Amino acid sequence: MTDNDTYKQQEHTLASTNAVKSRKRQEDQQSFLDIYRNKRLYPFFQPILDFRSLKYIGVEGFIRGPEVSILHKPQALFLVAKQMGLQPQFEGLCRNLIFTEFAKFNQNGCLFLNVSINCLDDFDFLDGNTTHLATHFNILPKQIVLEITGTQTIDDFTTLQTLLHNYQQLGYRIAIDDFGEGASNLRLWSEIKPDFVKINQYFITGIAEDKVKFNMVRAICEMAASSHVAIIAEGIETEAELTVLRDLNIAYGQGDIIAEPQSVPQLILKESVSSILYRKITPVAAPIFVSETVTVTASTLLNPVEPIYVEYNNDEVFDRFEHEPKLLVLPVVDPDSKPIGLINRYTLIDRFARPFRRELFGKRSCKLFMNKTPIIVDHITPIQDIGRILSQAASVNMLDGFIITEHDRYIGVGSSQMVMAMVTEMQLRAARYANPLTGLPGNVPINETIERLLLRKLDFTACYCDLDHFKPYNDVYGYSRGDDLIQFLGEILIDVASGEYDFAGHIGGDDFMLLLQSTDWQQLLQQGIEKFDAGMQDFLDQQHILDGGYYGEDRKGNKVFHSIPALSIGCLTVTPGMFNSHHEISSAVVDTKKRAKKISGSNVFIERRLLTKYGTGSV
């Protein structure tokens, strides 16, 4: 067979494949029109349980097609509706049917209703049919919870925020659905301030055995608690999952183990479920978070997806996605394995879903639908830095993730959602290790920050801050005034390290640590010293100020004169290669603090170490 014959055979096969797909698409659309016009749609409802009161707060309503139809599942129905440009009308019909059935068993519970973002500004939804339907069936707006799915692409957050505010003004409540799965989850949470957040089933399945999922869900729960948002766990299917979620103090749950979706929901709680929720025991397999002083880098999240080369055409890319259903992105590299772009699965499929698009663009270069400006990070980039890059990017599809390189050559891809979840967990973990008196990060976050700076090979200054004569002050004025003085010092040091590149931590008692990268750090420390000395006057009696101190007893009961408290700061300049760990830095900076305390009054002592071929020296 000649090359020409091979090419013709490939063309024939491609044409046959496209013809089959075209016929299938037409059959799907004909089936949809039959279902739509004849209203062969069936509402189903799944109850949502309050784990604390063991009562159902409401149900989620959704639509299914005929059981024998290929369009039985709601995802298939709504996909075809969107392709045919009938999404607003179809959603309106579904709402009508769901309201009608909900009214038959409504017992003042909530109705959770999925709403696509592009239908929110539809007149019939906001001011027309939905409000009339609710009024007709005696359903109050506060009973309706609009579920906005974060997996949908959001181009205009300002408009979305305005729309949802209008709904909230009317009394509707808002939920984010499928949290953790989509492209805009975290920003959506921040922008619209929802009443509920529903955690995607992916993070619930296997949570009793999966430490990563456990810690991610716990991070989401703690974030929700700080922003007064109620969490709903979706897709709970096993006893172990239900028990772990109970112990995480999640408010609400939804899943087959609690109640399966039915046309008329079962609103009587199963005895098996109540016994699990009342049981005061946790499975030993439930993962327990163990704090480790490690720096998490991009390489931790590396997924070594085999890249495609710039010579590939769109048909070849499409076939790759078809054969690998779980593949979301494909990196594009040049002949030297240097990354030049990313192709998103859904972007390509959406382009090809339109009539004749595959025939027109299938043989064109894959660069046509490629994101030419993907986020690219080196494999040793810390997770916190990647999170900052993602949050500051002007326009980025979170589903794209980012490309990971080593020596500028592609080695894999990383997940944006995973980064955001891990950054959130790190922030919450830092909060858990905060000093209860000042709220500043404690020893674990201090050490982790030092390790991170060492890994990045950055110049910084470690500053040990300590109060002179603090114990006598406590003895004379009492521990309550002593705590006030420590809090006052903490506030000053927070101001000193208020820059984006500076860090303030509380070791314990009257000991603090600053890690400064600002170029004007000496000036900032001097300002801190001046603020402390001026403010110290408010913590002393007038006579003690005039005397310059006060009398107290030493350990043997002898009367001893003590000077008023002063602030000593020992500073150690750190350059790359000088130290190997936070242990070495901690030991060295303690020595500088001791030397600072030998100087009378508040002061800053600076030790500059030089790294030479003969070792480290001080100046």
Helix, strand or coil, per DSSP, at residue 614: coil
Nearest to 222 by CA among 383, 503, 430: 430
- Taking the model in full, what pTM does it have? 0.47
Q: Give the torsion through C-alpha atoms of 194, 198, 202, 205, to 10 deg.
A: 150
40 touches 65 (CB < 8 A): yes
Nearest to 529 by CA among 499, 496, 503: 496
Residue 74 parent element (H or E) = helix 74-83
Topology of the domain comprising 433-618: Alpha-Beta Plaits (3.30.70)
Copy the structure tokens of residue 338: 């240097």
Q: What is the DSSP letter of 347?
A: H
Q: How far is CA 302 from CA 326, 378, 413, 418, in A?
A: 16, 11, 6, 11
Per CATH, 40-278 and 298-420 having the same topology is answered no
Residue 284 is predicted with a pLDDT of 33
Beta-strand (E) ranges in 345-429?
A: 376-378, 402-406, 409-414
What sign does the dihedral 198-200-201-205 (CA atoms) show?
Answer: negative
Copy the structure tokens of residue 133: 């339907």
φ, ψ dihedrals at 174, nearest 5°:
-125, 140
The Cα–Cα gap between 39 and 51 comes to 37
Residue 7 is predicted with a pLDDT of 52
Residues of the chain with pLDDT under 50: 127, 183, 280-294, 612-617, 619
Q: Which residues share a beta bridge with 601?
A: none
H helix intervals, 172-270: 185-192, 201-204, 211-226, 239-247
> Domain boundaries in the chain?
1-38, 40-278, 298-420, 433-618
Residue 225 is predicted with a pLDDT of 81
φ, ψ dihedrals at 79, nearest 5°:
-65, -45
Fill in the amino acid letter for 483: D
The Cα–Cα gap between 332 and 309 comes to 5
Rounded to 5°, angle at Cα 235 from 246 and 276: 35
The Cα–Cα gap between 277 and 457 comes to 50
Count of CB atoms situated within 10 Å of the CB of 291: 11
The Cα–Cα gap between 273 and 116 comes to 33
Q: How far is CA 467 from CA 217, 576, 609, in A?
A: 41, 30, 25
Q: What is the CATH number of domain 40-278?
A: 3.20.20.450
Residues 6+ apart with CB under 8 A from 9: 1
465 touches 513 (CB < 8 A): yes
Copy the structure tokens of residue 602: 């508040």
605 touches 571 (CB < 8 A): yes
Pairing of strands 230-233, 402-406: unpaired
Exposed/middle/buried for residue 10 (C-beta within 10 Å: 0-12, 13-18, 19+): exposed
The Cα–Cα gap between 145 and 110 comes to 7
What sign does the dihedral 31-32-33-39 (CA atoms) show?
Answer: positive
Annotate 120-133 with DSSP letters as a single string.
Answer: TT-HHHHTSHHHHH
Residue 594 parent element (H or E) = helix 582-597
The Cα–Cα gap between 439 and 431 comes to 8
Helix, strand or coil, per DSSP, at residue 505: strand
CATH of 298-420, one of 3.10.580.10, 3.10.450.50, 3.30.300.250, 1.10.1740.10: 3.10.580.10
φ, ψ dihedrals at 513, nearest 5°:
-130, 130
Q: Give the torsion through C-alpha atoms of 372, 378, 384, 389, to 10 deg.
A: -20
Q: What is the DSSP letter of 385?
A: H
Helix orientation angle between 87-105 and 74-83, rounded to the nearest 10 degrees: 150
Residue 515 is predicted with a pLDDT of 92
Nearest to 164 by CA among 154, 155, 178, 174: 174
Residue 598 is predicted with a pLDDT of 93
The Cα–Cα gap between 141 and 170 comes to 7
